[in-house]
Structure formats: structure tokens, C-alpha cells
A and B are shown apart, each in its own frame.
Chain A
Amino acid sequence: MADLAVYFRLARAQVRGQLSYRGSFVMNCFGQALAQGNDLLVILVVFGRVAALGGFDITAVLLFYALSGMSFGLADMVVGSIERLPTYVRTGAFDVVLMRPLATLFQLFAGDFQLRRIGRVLTAFGTLVYVLSTTDIHWTPAKALLLVLTPLAGATIFAAIFVAANSVSFWFVDSRELANAVTYGGSYLTSYPITVYVGWLRTLMAYIVPGAFVAYYPGLTLLDRADPLGGPSWLGWLDTPVAALAALVAGLIWRTAVRHYRGTGS
């Protein structure tokens, strides 16, 4: 608990620093929003050529995109600075992280907290508002709860992916781009219905890396749509437990990986 308090103080200090360069902050925020808007543009171009993709109309795909974008944006904002881990490992700066009386992960998260990444979340949130206001959804209290929990669960899943994928740096320090395959790649993949991917890619990126629970299954439940892949309708409610499990696994991977840290010897 005390760790969390320190984390919030560190993150707040970062945010205060970034907000003092207001012009630069606004520009960076806009850039992030635009990067997320880029994916939206591709979806719109695709639906200029087809009426349905993987069995889903544009409303469903935009809902997947919005849920995935919010989840990824939140995760990127809170834990995205772990991407700097390879630099810490290569230069030996991770020694300092190990010395301080605060959990290693929290230090890395707080070390470079970037509020500008909220830009991604805003584009996705705007899309979500548009989809929900133009679609006839049969609302129940349970579904409203699911709508609130889904981006949080999705963000937890992406956060777990960020941590697990970047742990590779303790073994292969030059392989930072490999993590992008599951982090940015995961965000790209989950923006579309998982029905379009070939079997083994779907197994790997949607179930082993639990991308299907970020947007696809919760989205189906919100829209009352049956899964073309034959999955039961309650899978959408599993996103929170899956997220908890993913966080647990990522934590274990992290603990094992940190033990492999050897320093630079200086």
C-alpha cells in the first residue's frame, strides 16, 4: 500500500513536469490521438470496400476497435514506460532500481509516466460514444457494469503483455522490437474480429496471449451477438478473471526474469 502511495507521488511529479510545457504537451497529445485515428482510418477505408468483415458489420468492428484502443491506451499510459527496460539493463542502471526500497515494477512504471498517451484513449473513447449512441443495445445493469469493466480488464491484459514481453530484455537485450509484436501487434490484432485470422495465429494471439478477451468476447456480449466460432455466450463475462490471471502470470514471469539480471560489472 505504501508502495502505491509513493508510486502516485512519483507519477504526479512526472505529470506536473510535463504540463509545464503546455504547448509541447498538447502537440504530443494530439500526435497520440492521431496515431490511434490512423487505425480508425484504415477500418473506414476497408468498409468503403466491403459491407462486413469476418462476419461483422462496421458497428461491431468499430466497437472492437474502441474497446481495444481504450484498453491499449490506458495500459500504454500506466505501464508503457517499461519499454525503457532494455536501456536500464544494457547500461546497468537497473542496479539502482534494485537498490531502492520500492517494488521494481512500480519504479519502472513511475519513472517515465506519460500523460500524453491519454490522446489514444480519447480517440477510442470518442469512437465508443459514437458507436453506443448510434446502436440499439438492449441495456441491462449487468451490461452497463461489463461496459465499465471491459476497458479496465483489457488494460490489465495489455499491461500484463507489456510486462511479460519486455521481460525478454533480461535474456536478449537487443531484442526490444520483439515485444512490439505482442504489444502493438496485440492492439492491431484485437481491433478486428478474431474470426479473420488463421487458426494458429488466433490460438497464439487471442487465447495464449488472451487478446480475444480485450474486445471480441465482451463486444459480442454487449451486442447480444452469437460467436461465429461457436464459443458460449458467457465468455464475454470472463474478461475480468482472465485479466487477473494474466496479471498473475506476468508477475511470475517478471520475478523469474529479474533473477536473471547480471549487472554490467562496473
Chain B
Amino acid sequence: MCAVIGCYLRITLAGFHRYSTYRQAVLAGTATNIVFGLIKVGILSGVFLARDGASIGGYDLTTTITYVWLGQGLLGVVDLWSEDDLAERIRTGDIVVDLSRPWNLQTALLCTDLGRAGYSAIARFVPQLLLGAVFFPFRWPDDPMVAPAFVLSTALAVLVSFNLRFLLGLTTFWLLDSRGVRSLYSIAAPTLAGLEIPLSFFPGWAQHALSFTPFPSMLQFPINVFVQDGPVLAMLAQQLLWALLLAATARLVLARAMHKVVVQGG
């Protein structure tokens, strides 16, 4: 048992190291996140200027600017874009090697992704959080319990995001080329998760419809936990529910896909 856990721990660390190798790429990515953040701060400040500062569903100007820097920082951690190796490995057939290894494929890939998320949290989230806090009006939580709740919420967001990306990758078993599905997801997911504009700015019916999807769990909920907007336990419970539901679905789909795999040659 200990050996198994040790194996997954090492995979997580390997994921961390893999992403920490490309420092220049991380720096470039963070710089780009910051430029987009600055543009977003401009547009959303314009919104509050036009409303004479009147808040929108719990979001005032300071909360919104805090939202921008949290969102830009979390983007790298949660990874809403699906550019998986998995789909490519299924297409080429290399997946057979992964499936024959003495591990659970889903758990192993999750560990790699957690390593990636951990590195992004240090290299991309923290710098942007500090940038926002030092140079902009920033809303720090007034309750120390927010810190563990935020970490938990972010971890659950990574779980939800990973399982969704894993499921999208698995569609390659049936579609052979899942680029279409994955690119549609990459276009829709950031907006639906609340990256472009806080979900509370959407009309009521749209917010209601989104509350039945896993999208807010990936970005808007961790941010709302940090800025203390909405019931924390309800949001964490919804995230946990989606994480479990998607993980179970992915497990089932993977098991179905295994029936389809035909190993050619020897």
C-alpha cells in the first residue's frame, strides 16, 4: 500500500519538475496573463464608473479588481484549455503502453496534473496575487478561515477541471480526432467558468442555468470563496459533488473504452 502511494507521490513530483523546467515559458505566460488582467481591470473599472460605483450582485469595484487578479492567477492553476497529450496518445495508439503499466491511468494522470497545478500556484498564482494586492485596490478576506477554504476550493476546482479534460481526451477512443470537441470546450469553458466577466454580471436566468453545470466550480467558486461572496459550504459541497460525479463518469467511460482497445501486432 505504502509503495503504491509512494509511486503516485513520485509521479506528482515529476509533474511539478516537468513544468518547472520551462522557466522562460512560465515567465512569458505570466506576463501575458498580467497584460490581459490590466485590460480587464480597465474595462470592468469602466463598468463601475458608468454605474457611479453601484455594486452588481455582491461585486463592487474593489471586489471586481480582486476577482480579476485571482482569476488571471488561477487560470494557469486550473487550466481550462484542453491541450492534452492523452488525445494524441490515444490517436497514435501509444495509450496501450500507458494502459499496460501497473497503475490506474486516471489516478496517474491526475497526479501529473496536481504537480503541474502546484507549480503553477507558486509560479503564476502567487506573483499575480501580490501584484494585485500591491498595486491595485484589493480585498483581503477578513476571516482567517478563508485561507484553508480557498485552498480546498482551488484543489476541488483542479479536480473538476482535470476530470472534464480527461473525459474530453477519452472521446478520442470513439471520435479518433477529438480536436473539434476540445476546441469548442476551450472556447466556451473560460467564459462559462467566469474568467472573462464575473458570473454575477450575467442576467439571472443565465446564472441559474450555469448553476446546474460544473463550469462555475472551476473558477468562479474559488474566487467567490476568497472574496467572501456567497455561502462557502454550499459552494464547496457543489464542487465536491461535481468532482466525484465527473471522476466516476470518467472511470466508467475509461472502462468502456478498454473494451474497444485492440492491440495490433506484438
A180 to B38, CA, bound (A): 14
Indicate if the CB atoms of B25 and A177 lie closer than 8 Å: yes
Indicate if the CB atoms of A185 and B35 lie closer than 8 Å: yes
Residue-by-residue, is B197-211 near A (CB-CB < 8 Å gives 1, otherwise 0)?
100011100000000
Chain B, 3-34, CB within 8 A of any chain A CB? 22, 24-25, 27-29, 31-32
A182 to B35, CA, bound (A): 8
Indicate if the CB atoms of B42 and A198 lie closer than 8 Å: yes
A259 to B29, CA, bound (A): 26
Residue-by-residue, is A160-179 near B (CB-CB < 8 Å gives 1, otherwise 0)?
00000000000010111110
- Confirm or deny: B99 has a beta carbon within 8 angstroms of a beta carbon on chain A: no
- Confirm or deny: A35 has a beta carbon within 8 angstroms of a beta carbon on chain B: yes
- Confirm or deny: B130 has a beta carbon within 8 angstroms of a beta carbon on chain A: no
- Confirm or deny: B137 has a beta carbon within 8 angstroms of a beta carbon on chain A: no
Indicate if the CB atoms of A201 and B43 lie closer than 8 Å: no
Indicate if the CB atoms of B28 and A176 lie closer than 8 Å: yes
How many B residues are at the interface, by size bracket? 20 to 34
Known: A24-B180, A38-B196, A42-B197. A178 touches B47 (CB 8 A): no
User: B183: which A residues are within 8 A, CB to CB?
Assistant: 28, 31
Indicate if the CB atoms of A196 and B28 lie closer than 8 Å: no
Indicate if the CB atoms of B24 and A174 lie closer than 8 Å: yes
Task: Please name the residue on chain A nearest to B30 by beta carbon.
Answer: A177
- Confirm or deny: A197 has a beta carbon within 8 angstroms of a beta carbon on chain B: yes
Chain B, 38-56, CB within 8 A of any chain A CB? 38-39, 42-43, 45-47, 49-51, 56
Indicate if the CB atoms of A201 and B42 lie closer than 8 Å: yes
Task: Please name the residue on chain A nearest to B38 by beta carbon.
Answer: A201
- Confirm or deny: B191 has a beta carbon within 8 angstroms of a beta carbon on chain A: yes
Among B22, B32, B187, the residue within 8 A (CB) of A34 is B187
- Confirm or deny: A263 has a beta carbon within 8 angstroms of a beta carbon on chain B: no
Known: A34-B184, A46-B197. A192 touches B43 (CB 8 A): yes
Among A53, A175, A176, A180, the residue within 8 A (CB) of B47 is A53
User: A177: which B residues are within 8 A, CB to CB?
Assistant: 25, 28-29, 31-32
Chain A, 12-69, CB within 8 A of any chain B CB? 24, 27-28, 31, 34-35, 38, 41-42, 45-46, 48-54
Known: A34-B187, A50-B50, A52-B50. A178 touches B32 (CB 8 A): yes
Q: Output the residue of B45, B49, B56 with the most chain A CB within 10 A.
A: B49
How many A residues are at the interface, by size bracket? 35 or more
Indicate if the CB atoms of A172 and B28 lie closer than 8 Å: yes
Secondary structure type dominating chain B contacts? helix
Indicate if the CB atoms of B187 and A35 lie closer than 8 Å: yes
- Confirm or deny: A189 has a beta carbon within 8 angstroms of a beta carbon on chain B: yes
User: A195: which B residues are within 8 A, CB to CB?
Assistant: 46
Indicate if the CB atoms of A31 and B184 lie closer than 8 Å: yes
Write the nearest CB–CB distance from A259 to chain B, whole angstroms: 21
Write the nearest CB–CB distance from B155 to chain A, whole angstroms: 25
Indicate if the CB atoms of A174 and B39 lie closer than 8 Å: no
A204 to B92, CA, bound (A): 45
User: A192: which B residues are within 8 A, CB to CB?
Assistant: 42-43, 46
Indicate if the CB atoms of A42 and B42 lie closer than 8 Å: no
A38 to B192, CA, bound (A): 10
- Confirm or deny: A129 has a beta carbon within 8 angstroms of a beta carbon on chain B: no
A182 to B1, CA, bound (A): 51
Chain A, 132-183, CB within 8 A of any chain B CB? 172, 174-178, 180-182
Indicate if the CB atoms of B46 and A31 lie closer than 8 Å: no
6 residue pairs bridging A and B, Cβ less than 8 Å apart = A34-B184, A42-B197, A172-B28, A174-B22, A178-B32, A196-B45
Lowest 9 A-B CB distances belong to which pairs? A196-B46, A175-B28, A174-B24, A197-B42, A181-B35, A50-B50, A178-B28, A181-B32, A174-B25
Q: Which residues of B contact A (CB under 8 A)?
A: 22, 24-25, 27-29, 31-32, 35-36, 38-39, 42-43, 45-47, 49-51, 56, 177, 180, 183-184, 187-188, 191, 196-197, 201-203
Q: Which residues of A contact B (CB under 8 A)?
A: 24, 27-28, 31, 34-35, 38, 41-42, 45-46, 48-54, 172, 174-178, 180-182, 185, 188-189, 192, 195-198, 201, 205
